[in-house]
Amino acid sequence: MQSEVPFVIGIVDLGDVQLSSRIDNAEYDDLEIGDPVELNVTEIDGPVDHERVFFRFEPKR
């Protein structure tokens, strides 16, 4: 993860729920409040015997 810093964090509004989440493939200057984003499910490597995922978002293009 150190090779991926700095990265963008934003609040994603899902209607009844708001999430603080990483926004991939974007710079802060490229984003504005209200810009649409889409879900990006990322697999996480780790010392476990089952699949683990992390939810991130990216700008909708």
Region 21-41: what's the mean pLDDT? 94
Which pTM does this prediction carry? 0.76
Query: Which has more confidence, 45 or 7?
Result: 7
Range of the domain at 20: 2-59
How many distinct structural domains can be found in the chain? 1
| Closest residue by Cα to residue 59 from 37, 33, 31 | 37
Is the distance from CB of 19 to CB of 12 less than 8 angstroms? yes
Confidence category of residue 44, pLDDT binned at 50, 70, 90: confident
Is it the case that residue 31 has pLDDT exceeding 90? yes
